[in-house]
Structure 1
Amino acid sequence: AIAIGPATGRTLADFCEDAAQAGGGDPRTVISDLGGDYKAENRGASLVAEWAINPDLSLKSISAYRFTEASQNDELDHTGIPFLHRTNTVHPQGGAGESDQYSQEFQLIGSAFDDRMQYVTGLFWYQEESGGRQSISFLGPFDPAIANLFFLNISPSSLTAKNDAVAAYAQVEWEFTPQWRTTLGLRYTDESRDLRVQDYAIDTSTLDANGGAAIPVGGGLFVVQRPGFEYNPAFILDESDVRQRKISNSDVTPMASIQYLIGESEWLDQGSLYLTYSEGFLSGGLSESPTGELEPFEPEEVQNIELGFKLDLLDRRLRLNGALFYSDYTNRQLTTLVINPEVNSPSPATINAADSTIKGFELETTWLATDRLIIGFNATFTDGEIKEFMDTQITIADTAQPPAANCVRADLSLIQVDSCPNDRSSENLPRLPEQSYLLSAQYALDTAWGTFLPRIQASWKFDMEFCFDALSCTTGLWFEDEQFELSARLGWTSIDERWSASLYGTNLTDEDYINGGIALVESSGTGGFAVAPPRMYGAEIQYRF
């Protein structure tokens, strides 16, 4: 147990117990001294223009712009004390982040050989500029009022980023016999990321609202004048260090597919079998590191193989689509924690898992039960495995013993932690259900006022991990064995199709299954759970012109 309130003698475990008992069994009722919220304002515009050069060739232009302004408060400790906070709205110098995104794409689309060959080739450009957001992680303030000491450990910073991407691609589909066709594609991608981090430090002369001195002694501790000290939550932040780095990544990703068309038979209206190989690429980036510098993480690459079928049966009233798939990931990007030595506090970071795989089977079923009733059923079975993943494990240190070999100890003032290499190669991939099912029914009702579309949908997911650090994964507390959600929607479209509206409800049975959380068991000894949003209702209306 860690005593963090000397005036009360209470420990962090005591405050965690208060939070756990707050709702009387209702996981959506919690104790929080910050709350959690996310606010965003989005604006955007897009323009699509197409020119038919001749009957077999067309040129398409797709232009888009999007602006986002967002701010949020994160309560990471889920207790009634300021133990782990991350915010950009509480402090006067905090600010919402702004992002401008631009994209332009040109496509040349054509056909040849009496439409037996279809092709598309294109160029794509994207740019994103973001900045203005100042985020502050708080540990404290704690004011014991029994000594000339005051504790406040913060890590304030503002980010400015510029991301650029260009790509060129081509894909051709060729029907070389009436039963056989093949598709070949190639994409070249080049991306760059430029990140600038401005760090800040407390102007200690502004920490006491009464103007008294506050002398830092390290690790967030200050010697203050008592009596008379009064904490000033609007203390001034001064610019300190600047960290900046730029990286670039490029890759060529091919795809190839061959398809066999099955002819009509007594039990089959039409169908096909296919085999596809494809590669994917997710560019790398920059992240926090134990050195305090911005360190690059590697691009994520994946090789996919898919063997599947598509069948239409029962006079085209039943459609079955199924596939076996296997994905082999190299340098899959996952999230971890590191101790930032600039401020001696945990910071989120992106890390690469060298080797991981996902394999499974998926089935999609659509049945036109009547001319107006459509019933759907989907099922997916997956097996995700991390084969090679070296992480850093941050644990509360035993101060009676020196750190083990290859471990680094950091003093976070309230606690000391050890950062040690940790092999997590045996774990399952997070947030990947082993089984998932979806059952839906939709009915079309034509009237003099338009078409009404009532729809009901039920989904099940089984065996999902929402843990974060290695210790939280071994506890089993963040493992959800079943998620169920029932939703419904009533849609309407006018006769001229200009107006549309809908009424909807989600989580109608008000399930409270786990769907996330902050599991910082190793570094802080705490862990919070996020549960599904409660039963909700809403309405939408749209006009097209």
Structure 2
Amino acid sequence: MFGKNTTGGVVNVVTKGPDLDRFGGYAKFTYGSFERTEAELVANLPLVEDKIGVRVGTALTHRDGFGRGGAGLALTGRELADDDEIFVRGSLLFRPGEALSVRVNADYHTVDESTSIFRSLRSALGGFIALKSINPDIYVGNDFRADRPFVRSNEFNLNGTIEVDLGAATLSSITSYRTQDSLTLVQSAPSTAVLLGQQSDLYAQELRLAGIAVDGRLKWQVGAFYSDESGVDIDVLKGFSLDTTTAASNKGWSVFTQDSFALTDTLTLTGGVRYTHEKRRVRSLVFTQANKASFDGVSWLVGLDFKPNSDTLLYANVSRGFRSGAIDQDNIATIVQPEFVLNYEVGLKAELFDRRVRFNSAAFYSDYTDIQRTSFDPNSPVPVTVLRNAAQATIWGFEGELNAVPVAGLTLGATVGYTNAKFDKFLDDNGQGVVIDRSDDPIGGPRWQLSASGRYEFDISSVAKAGLQANYFWIGKAILAGPSVAAVLAPGEAILNSYGLLNAQIDLDIADLGGNLGGLNIALFGTNILDKEYYAGGIALALFGGVSNRIVGEPRQWGIRITKEF
């Protein structure tokens, strides 16, 4: 229930904070294929014993492009899919006493590189909208214009967390600020280039009060959240001099509670509810258009945890989430209402055979209503695409994870995931005034995802240990478009073929002067070592006689990585 509103959940990334008692850190250097060079340095510095400490780190990344730009069979000589990044992060922890803790984090990330390798499987509108990539080399991507395709972005984050122990409860204040700007130029034909970007600033403040009561059986939390975001959304179709750039602001607040009560020693009931209110404004920076709207929504969850012993957990929960309403930035007069989802999930987490085997599994079912979708409006007398509450859908599936240590030093792992996603109700238009019923069409994405991994570690001497590892993952066929779009395209152009990638590593761990492993690690690694040619993403549309584009995945790469701890 905490943080910014989300449809179905969040991934909560908790970064490592300063250690107030120990100086330490590590340095890491990587060199590999395509002149890949990476340098990383992290240091932990206690400044005042038990009271003040800092942790700082920086990472520099460079890799030449593994692709080349081209138009037809001709090459432009420009690199595609290179990588240049700089990342800097710092964290300060101040703990003046047992009851008060203050932590401040800041980070900066900048990217300046060319776009991914973008290929068209077919020409559209006589090559005016998209031009088929005919070069047999899959690593030659669209690059037609004088202006080079590029991706540039900068992001700065600053946040501070204050925690106060009040005895019966803990008060937490989380203050955040983020500013970012990005700009991307992609091409699909000599006449077209799309310039997309965003400039935004976000301020957020959250307060939480949490405690334990009823002899430790009740864990309770109440809180409030506020955010204020403003920015510019850049959308320019350069080939047609069409500019739909807009400015937007979003302000929202919410109140929430989430509480768990131990019904018995093995059974726990959890419940939560959240109310969210948001105000949105959008205005065109090209035309005299503007609009504003307000939205409200309630999220909630109910769950049961059953823990028959310390190594087994079974759970079941049901929750309701929503995506806030929106203003269509391409059709500012259009306002769409929130999108809602009802989620059901059951799962098992278990450690077996003296914790030599770990097994996690879950099954889920999600029921979506009022899905926000940009599509043709079947009620319009002329073909026009708008953002609208167009559809209903259900998504269900399961996932499993198994890790085992059959003998000392050997660790084996495997995962499986299955997702079935389709529209239950969706009336669309084919762009020529003909209404299409896309109910039962797949939403898209792969149904199956599998992986297998193994690692074996063994001692070479009393001060050195070696490791051998490999992992293989397989992504099943992904449906990019349903039957109504596939009927316009050639066979195979509405799907993304399945692919599997094999990675491997050999590493050596050498003890430091104190005899502790982890002092120096040298690793030789390879990614996609079978040199599989594959597409990592794509899009398929029925417009202009059919559009089908692909993004090329990375080829085989080798490297060496040296890590020194201190």
TM-score normalised per structure 2:
0.66
* Equivalent residue, structure 1, for 2:176: 64
Contact 1:374 1:442 in 2 (8 A): yes
Query: CA separation of 1:16/1:429 partners in 2, compared to 1, >3 Å: closer, same or farther?
Result: closer
| DSSP-derived class of the 2:289 partner | strand
Aligned mates of 2:259, 2:464 — CA distance in 1: 41
CA contact (8 A) 1:468 1:518 kept: no
Are the aligned partners of 2:318 and 2:342 in contact in 1 as well (CA < 8 Å)?
yes
Does 2:238 correspond to 1:138?
yes
- 1:47 to partner: Cα distance: 1.7
- Point out where structure 1 has 5 or more consecutive residues left out of the alignment: 1-9, 89-95, 140-152, 200-240, 264-268, 395-417
Q: Where does residue 413 of structure 1 map in the other structure?
A: none
Question: Which amino acid in structure 2 is aligned with residue 365 of structure 1?
Answer: L
Q: Counterpart of 1:129 in structure 2: which amino acid?
A: S
Could you tell me which amino acid in structure 1 is paired with residue 351 of structure 2?
A: D
Give the deviation of 1:155 after TM superposition: 1.2
Alpha carbons of 1:63 and 1:283: their partners in 2 closer, same or farther (altered >3 Å)?
Answer: same
- Please say if residues 336 and 387 of structure 2, whose CA atoms lie closer than 8 Å, have aligned partners that are also in contact: yes
Q: 1:313 aligns with which of 352, 359, 367?
A: 352
Report deviation, 1:455.
Answer: 5.7
Distance verdict in 2 for CA 1:40–1:111, change over 3 Å: same
* 1:235-314 map, 5 Å: 241-263=287-309, 270-287=311-328, 292-314=331-353
Deviation string, structure 1 residues 147-193 (Cα, Å, up to 9, x no partner): xxxxxx43113221111221211111111111221111111112222
Q: 1:197 to 1:486 in 2, by over 3 A?
A: farther
Question: Contact 2:221–2:258 at 8 Å: present in 1 too?
Answer: yes
> Would the aligned equivalents of 2:372 and 2:391 in 1 still touch at CA under 8 Å?
no
Equivalent residue for 1:435? 448
Q: Which amino acid aligns with 2:450?
A: Y
Match for 1:108 among 209, 213, 237?
209
Q: Answer yes or no: is the 8 Å Cα contact 2:124–2:544 preserved in 1.
A: no
The residue matched to 1:331 in structure 2 has which SS?
strand
Matching of residue 424 in structure 1 with residue 453 in structure 2 = no
In structure 2, what residue type is equivalent to 1:392? D
Return closer, same or farther for 1:134/1:522 CA change in 2, 3 Å cut-off. Answer: closer
CA distance in 1, matches of 2:275, 2:477: 37
How far the C-alpha of 1:57 sits from its partner, in A, is: 1.9
Structure 2 contact 172–208 (Cα < 8 Å) conserved: yes
Alignment of 1:149-164 (within 5 A): 153-164=240-251
Deviation larger for 66-75 or 111-120: 111-120
Contact kept in structure 2, 1:325 and 1:361, CA below 8 Å: yes
Counterpart mapping for 1:343-422 below 5 A: 349-369=386-406, 373-394=410-431, 418-422=432-436
Q: Match of 2:231, as an amino acid?
A: S
The one-letter amino acid of 1:509's match is: L
The aligned residue for residue 171 of structure 1 is 258
Alignment match of 1:329 (pick from 357, 368, 374): 368
Larger radius of gyration: 1
User: By how many angstroms is 1:329 displaced?
Assistant: 0.5
Deviation string, structure 1 residues 325-359 (Cα, Å, up to 9, x no partner): 111011223343679x9xx9x98753434210011
Secondary structure at the residue paired with 1:20?
A: coil
Looking at structure 1, the residues matched to 291 and 564 of structure 2 have their Cα atoms a distance apart, in angstroms, of: 46
- Please tell me whether the aligned partners of residues 323 and 362 of structure 1 are also in contact (alpha carbons under 8 angstroms): yes
1:29 to 137, 140, 148: 140
Shift, 1:539, TM fit: 8.8
Q: CA deviation at 1:375?
A: 2.9
Deviation track 1:58-116 (CA, whole Å, cap 9, x = no partner) reads: 112222222111111121xx33x21x32126xxxxxxx642112222222121122322
8 Å Cα contact 1:468/1:520 also seen in 2: no
Give the deviation of 1:503 after TM superposition.
8.2
Secondary structure in 2 matching 1:523: helix
Q: RMSD value over aligned CA atoms?
A: 3.9
Q: SS of 1:27's equivalent?
A: coil
> Which piece of structure 1 moves more, 384-393 or 512-521?
512-521
What is the total number of aligned residue pairs between the two structures? 432
Distance in 1 (CA, whole Å) between partners of 2:155 and 2:496 is 33
Q: Does 347-356 or 157-166 show the bigger shift?
A: 347-356
The residue that corresponds to 1:73 in the other structure is: 185
CA distance, structure 2, for counterparts of residue 45 and residue 191 of structure 1 = 23
Instruction: Supply the distance in 2 between the matched residues of 1:137 and 1:302 (Cα, whole angstroms).
Output: 34
Pairs within 5 Å for 1:472-491: 472=486, 475=489, 476-487=492-503
Kept after mapping to 1: 8 A contact 2:488/2:542: no
Deviation at 1:198, TM superposition (A): 2.2
Q: CA deviation at 1:440?
A: 2.8
Q: Does 1:20 align with 2:137?
A: no
> Are 2:306 and 2:314, in contact at CA under 8 Å, matched by a contact in 1?
yes
Distance (Å, rounded) in 2 between the aligned partners of 1:540 and 1:164? 45
Work out which of the residue numbers 512, 533, 536 in structure 2 matches 1:512. 533
How far did 1:507 drift?
A: 3.6
Q: TM-score, normalised by structure 1?
A: 0.69
Alpha-carbon shift at residue 386 of structure 1 (Å): 0.6
Mapping of 1:443-482 within 5 angstroms?
456-467=470-481, 470-472=484-486, 475=489, 476-482=492-498
Whether the 8 Å CA contact 2:218–2:261 is kept in 1: the answer is yes
Structure 1 distance, partners of 2:375, 2:519, is 48
* Structure 2 residue matching 1:427: 3-state secondary structure: coil
Distance 1:352 1:543 in 2: 54
Quick one: higher RCO (CA 8 Å, sep 6+), 1 or 2?
Answer: 2
Q: Structure 1 residues 421, 14: CA separation in 2 closer, same or farther (over 3 Å shift)?
A: closer
